[in-house]
Amino acid sequence: MSVFSEKDFDAKNYSSNRPSYPDDFYRVLDEYHEGPRNRLIDVGCGPGVATFQLADKLRPFTQIVGTDISNTMVEKARSHKEKNPVKYEAVTFEVSSADDFSFLKGPGIKCDMVTAVQCVHWLDFEIFQESVAAVLREGGTFVIWGYADPIFPEYPKLDSLLNDFTYGPDDLGPYWESGRQYLRNLLRDLHLKDDLFTDFKEACFDIDYIRSNQTDPLLIKRTITLAQFQDYLKTWSAFHSWRKKHPRERDITEGFVNRVLQLYPHLTNQSKLQVVWKSFYKMCKKL
Protein backbone atom coordinates (compact mmCIF):
# COMPACT_ATOMS: atom_id res chain seq x y z
CA MET A 1 0.00 0.00 0.00
CA SER A 2 3.02 2.30 -0.40
CA VAL A 3 1.41 4.50 -3.07
CA PHE A 4 -1.64 5.30 -0.92
CA SER A 5 0.64 6.27 1.97
CA GLU A 6 2.56 8.85 -0.05
CA LYS A 7 2.03 12.44 1.11
CA ASP A 8 1.04 13.68 -2.35
CA PHE A 9 -1.67 11.05 -2.87
CA ASP A 10 -5.02 12.78 -3.44
CA ALA A 11 -7.06 11.51 -0.49
CA LYS A 12 -9.86 13.99 -1.18
CA ASN A 13 -10.41 12.70 -4.72
CA TYR A 14 -10.22 9.13 -3.42
CA SER A 15 -12.88 9.81 -0.80
CA SER A 16 -15.18 11.59 -3.27
CA ASN A 17 -14.99 9.21 -6.21
CA ARG A 18 -14.65 5.70 -4.85
CA PRO A 19 -17.87 3.64 -4.75
CA SER A 20 -19.67 2.99 -1.49
CA TYR A 21 -21.02 -0.35 -0.36
CA PRO A 22 -24.69 -1.39 -0.53
CA ASP A 23 -26.93 -1.29 2.51
CA ASP A 24 -27.87 -4.93 2.00
CA PHE A 25 -24.27 -5.99 2.51
CA TYR A 26 -24.26 -4.37 5.94
CA ARG A 27 -27.55 -6.12 6.72
CA VAL A 28 -25.91 -9.48 5.89
CA LEU A 29 -22.90 -8.61 8.05
CA ASP A 30 -25.07 -7.38 10.92
CA GLU A 31 -27.04 -10.63 10.94
CA TYR A 32 -23.87 -12.72 10.69
CA HIS A 33 -22.20 -11.21 13.76
CA GLU A 34 -22.99 -12.83 17.10
CA GLY A 35 -22.30 -11.75 20.66
CA PRO A 36 -20.96 -8.52 22.18
CA ARG A 37 -20.47 -5.31 20.22
CA ASN A 38 -17.82 -3.56 22.24
CA ARG A 39 -14.94 -2.96 19.83
CA LEU A 40 -14.74 -2.99 16.01
CA ILE A 41 -11.43 -2.41 14.19
CA ASP A 42 -11.52 -1.43 10.50
CA VAL A 43 -7.99 -1.91 9.15
CA GLY A 44 -6.73 -0.28 5.97
CA CYS A 45 -9.55 2.21 6.37
CA GLY A 46 -8.29 4.84 3.92
CA PRO A 47 -10.35 8.04 4.29
CA GLY A 48 -12.94 6.16 6.35
CA VAL A 49 -15.55 5.36 3.68
CA ALA A 50 -16.39 1.93 5.10
CA THR A 51 -15.58 2.92 8.70
CA PHE A 52 -18.33 5.52 8.77
CA GLN A 53 -20.73 3.20 6.96
CA LEU A 54 -20.08 0.54 9.59
CA ALA A 55 -21.01 3.12 12.23
CA ASP A 56 -24.13 4.11 10.29
CA LYS A 57 -25.43 0.72 9.16
CA LEU A 58 -24.62 -1.81 11.88
CA ARG A 59 -26.26 -2.07 15.25
CA PRO A 60 -24.04 0.07 17.50
CA PHE A 61 -20.56 -0.85 18.70
CA THR A 62 -19.21 0.92 21.78
CA GLN A 63 -15.96 1.72 19.97
CA ILE A 64 -15.02 1.73 16.27
CA VAL A 65 -11.38 2.30 15.33
CA GLY A 66 -10.23 2.85 11.76
CA THR A 67 -6.55 2.24 11.07
CA ASP A 68 -4.40 2.99 8.04
CA ILE A 69 -0.68 3.17 7.34
CA SER A 70 -1.20 6.45 5.49
CA ASN A 71 -1.21 9.58 7.63
CA THR A 72 -2.78 11.42 4.67
CA MET A 73 -5.74 9.05 4.63
CA VAL A 74 -6.17 9.11 8.41
CA GLU A 75 -6.16 12.90 8.47
CA LYS A 76 -8.88 12.91 5.81
CA ALA A 77 -10.96 10.49 7.90
CA ARG A 78 -10.46 12.56 11.04
CA SER A 79 -11.51 15.74 9.24
CA HIS A 80 -14.77 14.05 8.22
CA LYS A 81 -15.41 13.03 11.83
CA GLU A 82 -14.81 16.62 12.95
CA LYS A 83 -17.76 17.68 10.78
CA ASN A 84 -20.02 15.16 12.59
CA PRO A 85 -18.53 14.86 16.10
CA VAL A 86 -21.72 13.81 17.88
CA LYS A 87 -22.86 11.32 15.26
CA TYR A 88 -19.44 9.66 15.17
CA GLU A 89 -18.49 10.03 18.82
CA ALA A 90 -17.63 6.31 19.01
CA VAL A 91 -15.32 6.46 15.95
CA THR A 92 -11.58 7.15 16.18
CA PHE A 93 -8.66 6.72 13.78
CA GLU A 94 -5.07 5.57 14.22
CA VAL A 95 -2.04 5.53 11.93
CA SER A 96 -1.04 1.87 12.02
CA SER A 97 -0.20 -1.00 9.72
CA ALA A 98 -2.93 -3.59 9.19
CA ASP A 99 -1.26 -6.28 11.31
CA ASP A 100 -0.30 -3.98 14.19
CA PHE A 101 -2.88 -3.67 16.97
CA SER A 102 -0.51 -2.20 19.56
CA PHE A 103 -2.62 0.97 19.70
CA LEU A 104 -5.05 -1.05 21.84
CA LYS A 105 -3.87 -0.13 25.32
CA GLY A 106 -3.87 -2.65 28.13
CA PRO A 107 -3.09 -6.38 28.38
CA GLY A 108 -5.44 -8.92 26.89
CA ILE A 109 -7.71 -6.47 25.08
CA LYS A 110 -9.84 -8.25 22.49
CA CYS A 111 -12.01 -7.09 19.62
CA ASP A 112 -15.47 -8.26 18.62
CA MET A 113 -15.09 -7.58 14.90
CA VAL A 114 -12.21 -6.87 12.52
CA THR A 115 -12.96 -5.63 9.01
CA ALA A 116 -10.59 -5.21 6.07
CA VAL A 117 -12.05 -3.41 3.07
CA GLN A 118 -10.30 -3.07 -0.29
CA CYS A 119 -6.85 -3.62 1.22
CA VAL A 120 -6.08 -7.31 1.82
CA HIS A 121 -4.50 -7.81 -1.61
CA TRP A 122 -1.65 -5.51 -0.52
CA LEU A 123 -0.92 -7.49 2.68
CA ASP A 124 0.94 -10.64 3.66
CA PHE A 125 -2.28 -12.60 4.11
CA GLU A 126 -0.80 -15.33 6.34
CA ILE A 127 0.68 -12.86 8.83
CA PHE A 128 -2.43 -10.69 8.70
CA GLN A 129 -4.75 -13.58 9.56
CA GLU A 130 -2.58 -14.57 12.51
CA SER A 131 -2.59 -10.99 13.81
CA VAL A 132 -6.37 -10.77 13.49
CA ALA A 133 -6.87 -14.11 15.23
CA ALA A 134 -4.67 -12.95 18.11
CA VAL A 135 -6.79 -9.86 18.76
CA LEU A 136 -10.30 -11.29 18.13
CA ARG A 137 -12.30 -12.80 20.96
CA GLU A 138 -13.62 -16.33 20.54
CA GLY A 139 -16.56 -16.17 18.14
CA GLY A 140 -15.59 -12.68 16.99
CA THR A 141 -16.18 -11.75 13.37
CA PHE A 142 -13.49 -11.30 10.72
CA VAL A 143 -14.75 -9.96 7.40
CA ILE A 144 -13.01 -8.95 4.17
CA TRP A 145 -14.64 -7.33 1.17
CA GLY A 146 -13.79 -5.28 -1.86
CA TYR A 147 -14.22 -4.68 -5.56
CA ALA A 148 -12.32 -4.50 -8.86
CA ASP A 149 -12.56 -3.88 -12.57
CA PRO A 150 -15.95 -2.23 -13.17
CA ILE A 151 -18.12 -3.06 -16.14
CA PHE A 152 -20.73 -1.10 -18.10
CA PRO A 153 -23.93 -3.17 -18.52
CA GLU A 154 -25.44 -0.73 -21.03
CA TYR A 155 -22.25 -0.38 -23.08
CA PRO A 156 -20.58 -3.82 -23.15
CA LYS A 157 -17.91 -2.78 -25.66
CA LEU A 158 -16.46 -0.53 -22.99
CA ASP A 159 -15.55 -3.54 -20.85
CA SER A 160 -12.69 -4.65 -23.10
CA LEU A 161 -11.67 -1.03 -23.66
CA LEU A 162 -11.35 -0.48 -19.92
CA ASN A 163 -9.54 -3.79 -19.45
CA ASP A 164 -6.94 -2.76 -22.04
CA PHE A 165 -6.51 0.62 -20.35
CA THR A 166 -6.21 -0.97 -16.90
CA TYR A 167 -3.78 -3.76 -17.71
CA GLY A 168 -2.33 -3.00 -21.15
CA PRO A 169 1.46 -2.53 -21.41
CA ASP A 170 1.08 0.89 -23.04
CA ASP A 171 -1.41 2.18 -20.48
CA LEU A 172 -1.59 1.53 -16.72
CA GLY A 173 -0.58 -2.14 -16.72
CA PRO A 174 3.07 -1.60 -15.72
CA TYR A 175 2.17 0.73 -12.86
CA TRP A 176 0.23 -1.60 -10.57
CA GLU A 177 1.93 -2.69 -7.37
CA SER A 178 2.36 -6.35 -6.51
CA GLY A 179 -0.91 -7.69 -5.12
CA ARG A 180 -3.20 -6.33 -7.82
CA GLN A 181 -3.39 -9.82 -9.33
CA TYR A 182 -5.15 -11.06 -6.19
CA LEU A 183 -7.75 -8.32 -6.37
CA ARG A 184 -8.22 -8.89 -10.10
CA ASN A 185 -9.18 -12.48 -9.27
CA LEU A 186 -11.48 -11.32 -6.44
CA LEU A 187 -9.21 -12.87 -3.78
CA ARG A 188 -10.09 -16.41 -4.90
CA ASP A 189 -6.39 -17.27 -4.47
CA LEU A 190 -6.29 -16.13 -0.84
CA HIS A 191 -7.78 -18.60 1.61
CA LEU A 192 -8.94 -18.15 5.19
CA LYS A 193 -7.18 -20.47 7.64
CA ASP A 194 -9.45 -23.16 9.04
CA ASP A 195 -7.17 -23.68 12.04
CA LEU A 196 -7.91 -20.09 13.13
CA PHE A 197 -11.45 -19.46 11.91
CA THR A 198 -14.77 -21.21 11.32
CA ASP A 199 -18.31 -20.58 9.99
CA PHE A 200 -17.09 -19.40 6.59
CA LYS A 201 -19.38 -17.37 4.34
CA GLU A 202 -18.03 -16.23 0.96
CA ALA A 203 -19.32 -14.81 -2.32
CA CYS A 204 -17.86 -13.52 -5.59
CA PHE A 205 -19.80 -11.36 -8.03
CA ASP A 206 -17.89 -11.66 -11.30
CA ILE A 207 -18.79 -10.41 -14.76
CA ASP A 208 -20.96 -13.42 -15.66
CA TYR A 209 -22.91 -13.14 -12.41
CA ILE A 210 -23.41 -9.40 -12.84
CA ARG A 211 -24.75 -9.71 -16.37
CA SER A 212 -27.35 -12.28 -15.32
CA ASN A 213 -28.24 -10.80 -11.89
CA GLN A 214 -28.19 -7.04 -12.33
CA THR A 215 -30.86 -6.48 -9.67
CA ASP A 216 -28.95 -8.26 -6.88
CA PRO A 217 -28.95 -5.76 -3.98
CA LEU A 218 -25.44 -6.84 -2.95
CA LEU A 219 -23.88 -5.50 -6.15
CA ILE A 220 -21.74 -2.37 -5.93
CA LYS A 221 -23.09 0.01 -8.54
CA ARG A 222 -23.33 3.71 -9.35
CA THR A 223 -24.81 5.86 -12.08
CA ILE A 224 -22.25 8.56 -12.85
CA THR A 225 -21.15 10.76 -15.72
CA LEU A 226 -18.23 9.85 -17.93
CA ALA A 227 -16.35 12.79 -16.39
CA GLN A 228 -16.97 11.39 -12.90
CA PHE A 229 -15.75 7.98 -14.05
CA GLN A 230 -12.57 9.67 -15.25
CA ASP A 231 -12.17 11.14 -11.75
CA TYR A 232 -12.60 7.62 -10.35
CA LEU A 233 -9.77 6.38 -12.60
CA LYS A 234 -7.56 9.03 -11.01
CA THR A 235 -8.05 7.42 -7.58
CA TRP A 236 -6.16 4.34 -8.75
CA SER A 237 -2.69 3.74 -7.33
CA ALA A 238 -1.51 2.90 -10.86
CA PHE A 239 -2.59 6.34 -12.11
CA HIS A 240 -0.74 8.00 -9.23
CA SER A 241 2.42 6.03 -10.10
CA TRP A 242 2.05 6.84 -13.80
CA ARG A 243 1.64 10.56 -13.11
CA LYS A 244 4.75 10.67 -10.92
CA LYS A 245 6.78 9.11 -13.72
CA HIS A 246 5.23 11.30 -16.44
CA PRO A 247 4.55 14.67 -14.76
CA ARG A 248 4.55 16.68 -17.99
CA GLU A 249 2.63 14.31 -20.23
CA ARG A 250 -1.03 14.66 -21.10
CA ASP A 251 -3.29 12.98 -18.54
CA ILE A 252 -3.46 9.31 -19.55
CA THR A 253 -7.12 9.09 -18.49
CA GLU A 254 -7.99 11.58 -21.23
CA GLY A 255 -6.82 9.01 -23.73
CA PHE A 256 -9.27 6.50 -22.30
CA VAL A 257 -12.14 9.00 -22.44
CA ASN A 258 -11.33 9.83 -26.07
CA ARG A 259 -11.46 6.13 -26.96
CA VAL A 260 -14.86 5.88 -25.28
CA LEU A 261 -16.18 8.83 -27.31
CA GLN A 262 -14.82 7.34 -30.52
CA LEU A 263 -16.50 4.01 -29.81
CA TYR A 264 -19.82 5.60 -28.81
CA PRO A 265 -19.97 8.99 -30.62
CA HIS A 266 -23.35 9.90 -29.10
CA LEU A 267 -21.82 10.00 -25.60
CA THR A 268 -20.37 13.14 -24.01
CA ASN A 269 -18.41 13.82 -20.83
CA GLN A 270 -21.73 14.52 -19.11
CA SER A 271 -23.47 11.36 -20.32
CA LYS A 272 -24.59 9.15 -17.44
CA LEU A 273 -23.37 5.57 -17.30
CA GLN A 274 -24.36 2.70 -15.06
CA VAL A 275 -21.18 1.24 -13.58
CA VAL A 276 -21.10 -2.08 -11.70
CA TRP A 277 -18.00 -3.35 -9.95
CA LYS A 278 -16.99 -6.97 -9.71
CA SER A 279 -16.86 -7.64 -5.97
CA PHE A 280 -16.46 -10.21 -3.22
CA TYR A 281 -16.73 -10.81 0.50
CA LYS A 282 -15.35 -13.35 2.96
CA MET A 283 -16.71 -13.73 6.49
CA CYS A 284 -15.65 -16.03 9.30
CA LYS A 285 -15.57 -16.31 13.08
CA LYS A 286 -12.62 -16.86 15.41
CA LEU A 287 -12.26 -20.40 16.72
SS3 119: coil
| Alpha-carbon gap, residue 65 to 111, rounded angstroms | 10
pTM over 0.75: yes
Residues 179-209: pLDDT tens digits?
A: 999 999 999 999 999 999 999 999 999 999 9
pLDDT (mean) for 270-277: 97
Q: Say if 1 falls within a structural domain.
A: no
* pLDDT at site 113: 99
Q: Say if 146 falls within a structural domain.
A: yes
Q: Say if 73 falls within a structural domain.
A: yes
In this structure, what are the phi and psi dihedrals at residue 285, rounded to the nearest 5 degrees? -125, 150
Residues 121-174: pLDDT tens digits?
A: 999 999 999 999 999 999 999 999 999 999 999 999 999 999 999 999 999 999
Q: Say if 3 falls within a structural domain.
A: no
What range defines the domain where residue 70 resides? 11-286
Q: Say if 20 falls within a structural domain.
A: yes
Count how many domains the chain has. 1
CATH of the domain at 195: 3.40.50.150
Q: Say if 180 falls within a structural domain.
A: yes
Residue count (the chain): 287
What residues contact residue 189 under an 8 Å CB cut-off, 6+ apart? Answer: 182
Q: Say if 4 falls within a structural domain.
A: no
Single-letter amino acid, residue 106: G
Q: Say if 2 falls within a structural domain.
A: no
